[in-house]
Amino acid sequence: MGEPDELDELIERSEPVERVDEQDEVIGVVDRGEAIRHGWPHRVATIVCRDSSGRILVHRRPDDASRFPGHFNWLLGGATEVAESYEDAAARELAEELGVRGRPRFLFGGRADRPDASSGVRTGCA
């Protein structure tokens, strides 16, 4: 993410997210671009998709994605909307990104610290 143009683009398309503390308690609503720029923890729901043989779906991110364009990824998902549960966000993202309707099975929650952003993360499995 180090390019200024990429961050500017993300901020332009940004949406409100819930900033959280170390216990995943909401402490305010901020702009997603601002949260990323400052490294503030915010909620993200991610999904791992497996088939009946246990193989994991790997997809290629769009070339116009603001983060990691054209890269391969084994996670689907995104930031939760304000007042949206992790589970609802995971189901919404699954529908938006794959066109699949369903309720992912919750696997685990935790915190992912990255150099470009800190996010509270829960992962479900579809």
**What is residue 104's DSSP assignment?**
P
Using one digit for the tens of pLDDT, what is the confidence trace for 24-56?
899 999 998 888 888 888 988 889 998 899 999
Say how many domains are in the chain: 1
Please, how many CA atoms are within 13 Å of residue 61, restricted to the half-sphere of its CB? 15
Cβ pair 88, 96 in contact under 8 A:
no
Domain assignment of residue 56, given as a range: 4-125
Banded pLDDT at 110 (limits 50, 70, 90): confident
Banded pLDDT at 108 (limits 50, 70, 90): confident
CATH number of the domain at 50, please.
3.90.79.10
**Whole-prediction pTM value?**
0.78
Tell me, what's the pLDDT at 112? 72
Q: What are phi and psi of 19, to 5 degrees?
A: -80, 135
